[in-house]
Amino acid sequence: MPSPIRTYQPGDEDAQAHIYNTAAATLPGFKPATAGAVDRRYPATGHDPASRFYAIDGHGAVVSYARFNPSGRVGYP
């Protein structure tokens, strides 16, 4: 059984975009996220995969995420 929380793995951008779009869809000014947009927010230089956390359900699917930046900013849907 996978750990219920893990750090970033390649391909998590799709799940992160889906979760964000589901959580924020009804907010005023909502702009849908794409996997490409999520990926562009994390440039290769200075990107720390350990700063992104994903909650996993019993089937191995990503169901939530949180991230933090060295600036102290924390993001979650």
Whether 1 has a pLDDT exceeding 80, the answer reads no
3-state helix, strand, coil in the chain (%, to 5): 30, 20, 50
Could you tell me the residue range of the domain that residue 62 belongs to?
Answer: 5-75
Q: How many CB atoms lie within 10 A of CB 18?
A: 15
pTM: 0.79
pLDDT greater at residue 4 or residue 70: 4
Helix (H) / strand (E) element for 56: namely strand 52-56
Place of tokens 């939530």: 64
**Predicted confidence band of residue 2 (pLDDT cuts 50, 70, 90):** low
**Total domains in the fold of the chain:** 1
